[in-house]
């Protein structure tokens, strides 16, 4: 069909028109659909040649043809090199989440170990997030369990402190960790800072992969101590060597030829994929994690692997060696981008023999089994959601279910919790907590709290939809409570104009018995489901998860309140002066009893501040 004058171009015709103005240079292109939705982000060595391929209409798959037909605009950014284009493409895909790109959906940060060197006695601790603390970072670890196990071992082997600086400064005698031989107690001078620094360097060497050298030095020291009949010292060194050896004994895989590498294996089947990543650092297995990127059944394994690696390492440390089960597309370009990003050479390879191939095969087996479990769970989940659809008379199977619950004690530290579930189970990254802010609410007013939570949640939804953002609209909202809570929820949602969303109240049975829940829906008589129905069990799980999340959020807030120190509320008392006051008087209560003359004797406390502190504890 010919375009008439004045008709906006679209699809292949629009792309063909854009090609006329494109340079023969590297860059990134975006294909944009209706309402500004970014459909696809790609990169090219030559924008002109790459985009011309779309205009010619020779597509490998129907999916690409559909994407071209849906295109209503294109956007371009030229770059200096193809490597720069690749890095920009990766960043834009993670930011925009285009519908037609392979997309890494689960992108949680990994825990690490940091040796924090801002203090004369370096601290060993777990860390997650940006590297804002001065120190040496080691990781990633696949799970909190893996990092905690390694931390425990390092404490036994190197006796490094894990306490905070404020605790360190106020110690007058060794803590329990020293008693159980997991800290050298530099806080009380039981080890000199020079000797403690030597332990820190040994720990760093071990985490850098020099475990055999460290254990060899310890063995030599143990033998020397034994020869000199210092049997207690020899025994301590023996225990430290055993602690380090235990790491290897606890691992299911003990590589001898791999010190630092990530092993990445892909298994795709039926339009779904699983990528299994194993982390090897310091010659040890630091755990593994399964990922399920969004793919299409027409995507080639090499393209999926390339897209996964690019997005995975966008915000994570890149090892020197990446072993894969399938060679990623444009492997050399990807390695060059990683080298540019990490500042060191990175090798990507598919091992053909030996131990490295065995590691890849082991990861591939794990990927295959994880995808099998995922597909089985998805099938069962789909049946449950179909049952929910039938039980509540929904128009279609819900893709997103939001469940709300409140938690408080006599109205104090009130918190509302929202959990999210769908075809892939619980979506924990989308859970939200709401600290109740309305000061005019009567303590314990559950209806008022529910109104505040829902008003804040759905006001945000309405705003996002008005701005054309990628708003996450639920298909079903479950409220913990009966007719009263349901009426409160419906009132708020009607006010906000989102009353087309299905809302159901879930009331506990008599004596809170599970299995006797009653369900409340607008315009319907309250009803119950079959006592042993799988759908009922599923809804109970959703409600219990919301209750668990709300209770946990409440406890966290209450714990924070309990830990608050009155000194935090006094203007002019920062961390340094707070520490000095606590050291001088032992506690906040001790500070409250001090006179102005006693307070000014503390370093950093002026007469004006001393009077302010004194008056604070004696205000009416």
User: What confidence score (pLDDT) does residue 554 get?
Assistant: 65
Instruction: Using DSSP, state whether 368 is helix, strand or coil.
Output: helix
d(CA 453, CA 321): 48
- Looking at the structure, do residues 430 and 287 belong to the same domain, yes or no? no
Six token digits for residue 48: 């002109």
User: What confidence score (pLDDT) does residue 4 get?
Assistant: 45
pLDDT digits (tens, 9 = 90+) for 467-492: 766 778 999 999 988 899 999 999 99
d(CA 414, CA 409): 7
Mean pLDDT along residues 59-69: 82
User: What confidence score (pLDDT) does residue 316 get?
Assistant: 83
What percent of the chain is modeled with pLDDT above 90?
28
Greater model confidence, 592 or 293:
293
What is the tally of structural domains in the chain?
A: 5
- Looking at the structure, do residues 555 and 406 belong to the same domain, yes or no? yes
pTM of the predicted structure, to 2 decimals:
0.64
pLDDT digits (tens, 9 = 90+) for 521-533: 998 999 998 877 8
Helices (H), 171-227: 176-179, 193-207, 211-227
- Looking at the structure, do residues 416 and 541 belong to the same domain, yes or no? yes
Compute the half-sphere exposure of residue 462: CA atoms within 13 Å on the CB side of its CA: 16
Domain end residue (candidates: 96, 128, 147): 96
**Is there a domain that residue 240 lies in?**
yes
Highest averaged pLDDT of the listed ranges 198-202, 344-348, 584-588: 344-348
pLDDT at 514 > cutoff 70: no
Q: What is the CATH number of the domain that holds 603?
A: 1.10.150.20
Sheet holding 123-128, edge to edge: 123-128, 111-116, 135-138
pLDDT digits (tens, 9 = 90+) for 327-346: 999 999 999 999 998 888 99
**Is there a domain that residue 135 lies in?**
yes
User: What confidence score (pLDDT) does residue 258 get?
Assistant: 78
The vertex-313 CA angle with 310 and 318, nearest 5°, equals: 125
- Looking at the structure, do residues 499 and 419 belong to the same domain, yes or no? yes
pLDDT at 83 > cutoff 90: yes
- Looking at the structure, do residues 283 and 303 belong to the same domain, yes or no? yes
Mean pLDDT along residues 235-264: 69
Greater model confidence, 218 or 452:
452
* DSSP label of 518: E
- Looking at the structure, do residues 515 and 538 belong to the same domain, yes or no? yes
pLDDT at 82 > cutoff 90: yes
E strand segments, 108-213: 111-116, 123-128, 135-138
- Looking at the structure, do residues 123 and 179 belong to the same domain, yes or no? yes
What percent of the chain is modeled with pLDDT above 70?
89
Choose among 512, 520, 516: nearest CA to 530.
516
pLDDT at 55 > cutoff 70: yes
Between the alpha carbon of residue 21 and those of residues 6, 43, 68, 389, the distances in Å are: 20, 17, 19, 51
pLDDT at 81 > cutoff 70: yes
At 243, the pLDDT band (50, 70, 90 cuts) reads low
- Looking at the structure, do residues 432 and 313 belong to the same domain, yes or no? no
- Looking at the structure, do residues 436 and 406 belong to the same domain, yes or no? yes
User: What confidence score (pLDDT) does residue 551 get?
Assistant: 85
At 271, the pLDDT band (50, 70, 90 cuts) reads confident
At 2, the pLDDT band (50, 70, 90 cuts) reads very low
Q: Could you give phi then psi for residue 570, rounded to 5 degrees? A: -95, 125
Domain end residue (candidates: 225, 250, 275): 250
pLDDT digits (tens, 9 = 90+) for 536-556: 989 998 998 988 888 876 676
Mean pLDDT, the chain, rounded, equals: 84
- Looking at the structure, do residues 543 and 420 belong to the same domain, yes or no? yes
- Looking at the structure, do residues 126 and 245 belong to the same domain, yes or no? yes
Q: Which domain, by its residues, includes 30?
A: 11-96
Instruction: Using DSSP, state whether 311 is helix, strand or coil.
Output: helix
- Looking at the structure, do residues 586 and 609 belong to the same domain, yes or no? yes
């Amino acid at each position: 069909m010919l375009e008439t004058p004045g008709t906006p171009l679209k699809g292949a015709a629009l792309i063909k028109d854009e090609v006329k103005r494109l340079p023969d240079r590297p860059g990134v292109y975006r294909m944009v659909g209706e309402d500004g939705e970014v459909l696809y982000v790609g990169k090219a060595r030559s924008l002109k040649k790459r985009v011309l391929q779309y205009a010619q209409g020779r597509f490998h798959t129907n999916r690409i043809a559909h994407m071209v037909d849906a295109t209503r605009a294109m956007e371009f950014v030229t770059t200096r090199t193809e490597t720069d284009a690749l890095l920009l493409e990766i960043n834009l895909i993670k930011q925009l989440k285009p519908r037609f790109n392979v997309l890494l959906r689960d992108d949680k940060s990994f825990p690490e170990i940091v040796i924090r060197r801002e203090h004369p006695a370096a601290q060993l601790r777990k860390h997650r997030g940006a590297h804002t603390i001065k120190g040496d970072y080691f990781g990633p670890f696949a799970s909190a369990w893996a990092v905690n196990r390694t931390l425990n071992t390092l404490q036994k082997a190197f006796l490094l402190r894990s306490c905070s600086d404020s605790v360190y400064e106020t110690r007058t005698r060794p803590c329990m960790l020293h008693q159980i031989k997991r800290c050298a107690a530099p806080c009380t001078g039981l080890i000199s800072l020079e000797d403690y620094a030597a332990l820190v360097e040994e720990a760093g060497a071990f985490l850098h992969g020099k475990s055999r050298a460290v254990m060899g030095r310890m063995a030599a020291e143990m033998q020397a101590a034994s020869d000199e009949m210092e049997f207690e010292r020899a025994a301590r060194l023996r225990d430290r060597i055993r602690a380090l050896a235990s790491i290897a004994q606890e691992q299911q895989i003990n590589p001898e030829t791999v010190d630092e590498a990530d092993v990445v294996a892909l298994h795709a089947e039926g339009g779904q994929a699983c990528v299994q990543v194993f982390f090897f650092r310091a010659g040890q297995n630091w755990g593994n994690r399964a990922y399920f990127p969004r793919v299409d059944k027409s995507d080639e394994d090499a393209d999926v692997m390339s897209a996964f690696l690019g997005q995975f390492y966008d915000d994570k440390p890149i090892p020197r060696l990446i072993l894969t089960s399938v060679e990623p597309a444009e492997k050399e370009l990807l390695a060059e981008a990683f080298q540019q990003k990490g500042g060191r050479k990175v090798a990507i390879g598919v091992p053909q023999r030996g131990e490295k191939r065995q590691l890849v095969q082991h990861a591939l087996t794990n990927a295959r089994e994880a995808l099998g479990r995922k597909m089985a769970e998805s099938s069962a989940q789909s049946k449950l959601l179909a049952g929910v659809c039938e039980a509540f008379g929904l128009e279609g199977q819900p893709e997103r279910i939001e469940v709300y619950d409140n938690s408080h004690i006599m109205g104090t530290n009130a918190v509302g919790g929202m959990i999210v579930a769908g075809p892939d189970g619980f979506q924990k990254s989308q859970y939200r907590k709401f600290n109740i802010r309305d000061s005019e609410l009567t303590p314990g007013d559950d209806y008022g709290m529910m109104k505040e939570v829902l008003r804040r949640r759905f006001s945000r939804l309405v705003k996002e939809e008005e701005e054309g953002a990628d708003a996450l609209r639920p298909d079903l909202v479950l409220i913990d409570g009966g007719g009263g809570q349901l009426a409160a929820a419906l009132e708020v949602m009607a006010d906000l104009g989102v009353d087309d969303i299905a809302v159901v109240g879930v009331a506990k049975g008599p004596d809170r018995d599970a299995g006797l829940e009653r369900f409340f829906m607008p315009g319907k008589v309250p009803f119950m489901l079959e006592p042993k129905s799988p759908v009922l069990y599923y809804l109970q799980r959703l409600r219990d998860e919301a209750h668990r999340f709300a209770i946990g959020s409440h406890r966290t807030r209450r714990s924070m309140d309990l830990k608050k120190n009155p000194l935090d509320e006094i203007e002019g008392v920062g961390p340094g002066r707070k520490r000095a006051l606590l050291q001088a008087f032992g506690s906040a209560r001790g500070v409250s009893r001090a006179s102005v003359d006693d307070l000014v004797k503390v370093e950093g406390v002026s007469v004006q501040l001393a009077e302010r502190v004194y008056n604070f504890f004696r205000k009416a």
